[in-house]
């Protein structure tokens, strides 16, 4: 079965450093998403991306965050200057169409720890 | 805004016990409701869904009924197995593909 792949599974970084989280969506998918879960809290929507641009973003997704699809296969989330409160599990997801979460596939997540 | 509240975990059960994981939601309008499951080391997977009031979603022995009067979507299974040990997330959808999740409830099933 096709799957969304996220790397690395764990990332440790120092506060103030830039970090890039990588995702390889399923190959024929067109819509891409990032969610995150701070330990003990809810899974929160960050951003959706379609046709090389952001289609929706939450209030969490401020100027410190950016997304990119650099080469047609990867979908990355960059945090420009990490803060302690950015420590969380980050989930990437993709789907072929923009409607119907039945076909929304999630990766296994990247655990980001900011020290 | 929209929100989902799940019971705190972990829920610890013996094999073949009855499972209930409570989920309530707050939303205007008529959201669709979902349960996702995350097995260790894997991504979130859709377990079941219900798109309108009184619908019952079911899959792999799990069931949940969309109760608009109580704004609830409780997950149940009559007889859990060790392999059901995972984290379960309740979620709602309004609009296209942006989900609002709960915190997740860990289920631990012992032999």
Query: What is the structure's pLDDT at B95?
Result: 66
- Helix then strand then coil, in percent of chain A rounded to 5, is 5, 50, 45
* Residues of B with Cβ-Cβ distance to A46 under 8 angstroms: none
pLDDT band at A70, cuts 50/70/90? confident
Which of the four pLDDT bands, split at 50, 70 and 90, describes residue A96?
Answer: confident
Residue A90 clears pLDDT 80, i.e. is over it: yes
Mean pLDDT for the stretch of residues B76-103: 90
Largest distance between two CA atoms of chain B: 43
> Which residues make beta-bridge pairs with B38?
B87
Edge-to-edge strands of the sheet including B75-77? B19-21, B75-77, B62-65, B56-59
Q: Is the pLDDT of residue B49 over 70?
A: yes
Mean pLDDT of chain A: 91
pLDDT at B97: 61
In sequence order, the 6+-apart residues with CB closer than 8 A to the CB of B105 are B6, B7, B8, B9, B10, B11, B21, B87, B88, B89
- CA dist B5 and B18 (Å) reads 21
The mean per-residue pLDDT over the stretch A71-77 comes to 91
The arithmetic mean of pLDDT across residues A57-67, rounded, is 94
Q: Which of A42, A95, A102 faces B102 most closely, judged by CB atoms? A: A42
Our CA-based measurement puts residue A59 at a distance from the nearest CA of chain B, in whole angstroms, of 13
Q: What is the mean pLDDT of residues A24-30?
A: 91
Q: A40 vs B4: CB contact, 8 Å cut-off?
A: no
Taking CB atoms and an 8 Å cutoff, what residues of chain A touch B33? none
Interface residue of B32, B34, B36, B44 to substitute, partner A, most A CBs within 10 Å: B44
What pLDDT, on a 0 to 100 scale, did the predictor assign at position B19? 97
Q: Does B104 touch chain A (CB under 8 A)?
A: yes
CB-based contact, A7 to chain B, within 8 Å: no
* Separation CA A27–CA A13 (nearest Å): 30
For the cut 70, the answer to whether the pLDDT of residue B75 exceeds it is yes
- The whole-number average pLDDT for the span A61-77 is 93
Predicted pLDDT of residue B98 = 80
Q: What DSSP character marks residue A39?
A: T
Is the pLDDT confidence value at A98 over 80?
Answer: no
Distance between CA atoms of residues A82 and A31, nearest Å: 26
Nearest to A24 by CA among A60, A74, A76: A74
pLDDT at position A101 is 66
Both tokens of A69, joined, read 């699809």
Tell me the mean pLDDT in the region A30-40.
Answer: 91
Kindly calculate the radius of gyration of chain B based on its CA atoms and give it in whole angstroms.
13
């Amino acid at each position: 079965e096709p799957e969304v792949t996220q790397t690395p599974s764990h990332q440790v970084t120092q506060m103030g450093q830039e970090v890039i989280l990588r995702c390889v969506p399923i190959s024929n998918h067109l819509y891409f998403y990032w969610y995150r879960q701070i330990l003990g809290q809810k899974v929160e929507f960050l951003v959706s991306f379609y046709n090389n641009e952001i289609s929706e973003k939450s209030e969490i997704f401020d100027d410190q965050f950016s997304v990119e699809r650099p080469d047609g296969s990867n979908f990355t989330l960059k945090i420009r200057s990490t803060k302690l409160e950015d420590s969380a599990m980050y989930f990437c997801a993709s789907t072929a169409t923009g409607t119907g979460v039945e076909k929304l596939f999630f990766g296994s997540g990247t655990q980001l720890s900011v020290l | 805004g929209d929100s989902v509240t799940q019971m705190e975990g972990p829920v610890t059960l013996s094999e073949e016990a009855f499972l209930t994981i409570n989920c309530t939601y707050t939303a205007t309008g008529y959201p669709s409701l979902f349960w996702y499951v995350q097995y260790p080391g894997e991504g979130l997977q859709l377990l079941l869904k219900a798109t309108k009031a009184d619908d019952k979603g079911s899959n792999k022995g799990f069931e949940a009924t969309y109760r608009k009067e109580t704004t609830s979507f409780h997950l149940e299974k009559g007889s859990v197995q060790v392999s059901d040990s995972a984290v379960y997330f309740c979620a709602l959808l309004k609009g296209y593909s942006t989900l609002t999740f709960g915190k997740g409830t860990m289920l631990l099933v012992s032999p």
